[in-house]
Chains A and B, each alone.
Chain A
Amino acid sequence: MLELRGITLTYDAADHPDGSRPTTVLDGIDLTVSDGELVVLAGPTGVGKSTLLGVVAGLVPSYTGGTLTGDVLLDGVSIIERPARERAHAIGYVGQNPAAWFVTDTVEEELAFGMEQLGLPATTMRRRVEETLDLLGIAELRYRDLRTLSGGQQQRVAIGAVLTVHPRLLVLDEPTSALDPTAAEDVLATLTRLVHDLGVSVLVAEHRLERVVPFADRLCLLGGDPARPGTVRVGDPAEVLRDAPIAPPIVELGRLAGWEPLPLTVRDARRQAPELTARLGGPPHRERPASAEPIVEVRRLVLAHGRTPVLREVDLALSPGTVTALMGRNGAGKSTLLWALQGRHEAGSGTVRVVGADPSSLRPEERRSTTGLVPQSPADLLYLETVAAECAAADLSAGADPGACRGLLERLAPGIDPDHHPRDLSEGQRLALAVAIVLTARPPVLLLDEPTRGLDYPAKRALAGLLRELAREPGARRAVLVATHDVEFVAQVADDLVVLAEGEVVSAGPVARGVSESPAFAPQVTKVLGAGWLGVDDVAERLAAGSAGVTP
């Protein structure tokens, strides 16, 4: 149905968005999507997944610049010359952040917008809106203001808004990247239902491969070959993942254990697991830093926004040298807890002690030197025109030596051009800049709110390493608290896990115990090998040790 032939996109020096060197982003890409097929597009961050989807939808190069060659065929007819609006009836495109895409303000009007543009008769629109509301299970939301919806609901409305024009191909860019695990499941379940019931073809870019690969008919890997980054490999998911640089933990485990065929689901892997469990022996013991006096202590903290309670009797203790993960659904109170530790929210009742003081009673500059908080969108911190100016301002306001912030940034993300505009940095670099600015005041407590959004497996691993290093830095007495949805990241980074639900702590303790207590938060390796095994790294370590002849 849809066919890409030799798609090549180059930015020449003048219109490159963040630099001045000519680059080839996509390099001779051939891809076909047949009727009723679900194709997953995977690849490392920043490799051009969104760009490729944009080419299909017609938004690239008209929104990004660059030179496009090759051809896009829809049912054998070339559509590469047609702008996005002339493709809308056949190709439905849903971008990364659905909230930024809404044109109207209620669910019903949003569903009708695309049809209005196509000039469909009013009666047809009426019928299709009803059908779509039912199909996506959002009928009760019809009059709701779009901004009051949860992330998962918004994503479903965004999908519905393109479905109403009955496109033949649905193109989705990371539909679950901002969702908590349950909402992500909902959206992906909706997608598979569309493929199975309606026969819509779907092309979806997704970085949480572990969720979507089981449903994929084919996998298209972009940037898998470091020598030619703009090319793709297309094939059966298990085949392509055999040596892909980005792979879900379960696939890495399969590779490590030499399983054949490569398992894509927990179910497949469990069938092959007993052999490996026997080889591995008992679960590993994670070494923990010597327990010390906690530097953050929260006792029976109650906090409310207006009359709605957000935190109910929360207890929390953070010891220096540890990384603690904070998990829970969207709206469970994670961000509020972080901001309470920072001192912006005053405790309704109960006590908050950070390095021996109540943070809400401190002056702003004292707060900054006790806790460093990196907010959910780190770009909010940045307001100057160059990276160098941001760093200089950070030094000045923290009273640090000139160059302190630059030094930190160089450690976190080497090689950033100081004359760049902060907004032109990549997601990971911007996060690094925000962390560096916050760390310039050398706070003993570091809080991060959802730092893994938009990062791929290697980038997350690097961030995990960095956070552990910061926590363990000799002579620093520092504690790190990370709020996140990402189970696999938690397995990599955290010593302790605290789970919040409806503002209450439902579980707290070492990570290995925490994840075995609640299966929803268990990483894949734990699901396959049982409690105590957290990540592929543990298994690799044990196997290496085993082959060296040191059996426990």
Chain B
Amino acid sequence: MSAGVSVTAIPAQTRGWQRDLIGISVILIAALAGYFLFPNNLALLTRMIAIMLLVLSLDLVTGYCGVATLGHAALFGSGAYAAGIAAAHFGITEPITMIAIGAIGGALAGLISGVVILRGHGLAQLVLSIAIIHLFHEAANKASEYTGGSDGLSGISPDPILGVFEFDLWGRTAYVFGIVLLLLVFILLRILVRSPFGMLCRGIRQDPVRVSAMGASVKLTLIKMYAISGLVAGVGGAFNAVSTQVVGLDSLSFTNSAEALVMLVLGGVGSLYGALIGTIAFIWIEDLVSAANPFHWLTIVGALLIAVVLFAPKGLYGTAATFVERYRRGAK
């Protein structure tokens, strides 16, 4: 096969960029397909985008740095509340500004979480992350003056985007806005994980001792990554606040964090595509099964998760990638 030969002749770096171009166009095509094939499901798809940003952000610390956390929604929720409070109490209703405020809120929460969580190792780390999410949740519950407490923060009414595109009942504007955000974040993250900094993080995941022997500060690097991760999760949270016009305590909940982790592992840890695919698969199945049987759908979702571990132990994307790899080798 001459094509195969020519592909292998290209240096690995360039080939990676080619693959990214293909990846991004696949996302674009999927986004367009979603818009035209499911015009009545845009609310669901929009929620999916917000969660995708959360799962991508989780992948940065879990997949690329090897930090196990069950408290990642703290970053997402902080972004959501930051944007929501800015809109509801301070009259900042310009959507792009709201997203920026959310990103800053998320980054701050990421810094705090990072400093605390990175203190522990293994199980202790997991427990610190659980403590963090409960503290954030309780703090939001207590500050009901600003957050609306358990009743949720309502009264968020974002302006039309760029003063032109209004948020409508069908959720078209929100969906397109979300896709644009997602693509931007995705491209930036691809650059990030390829950068020397991203490589350093992967190095830490594989062997922290060696990395520190090389003279790099493990902790500082991870905290930086945590802040970046917070930025991404904050964008997701803020986008959720903008598109649903409400923020609830659930956005800061342990359940939300655990679900994000499940989606990530389902898709495949350590790959941005895995994060996207895991989110789509989980939310889509959940929606399908819970609409078909709102009373007993949990059993089916549970059985599917078990099946994934048994038959696709590297996650959906990881296993598919292995298959493709094997096929390619076979074809040569």
Q: Report if A and B associate in a common complex.
A: no
| B interface residues (Cβ-Cβ under 8 A, vs A) | none
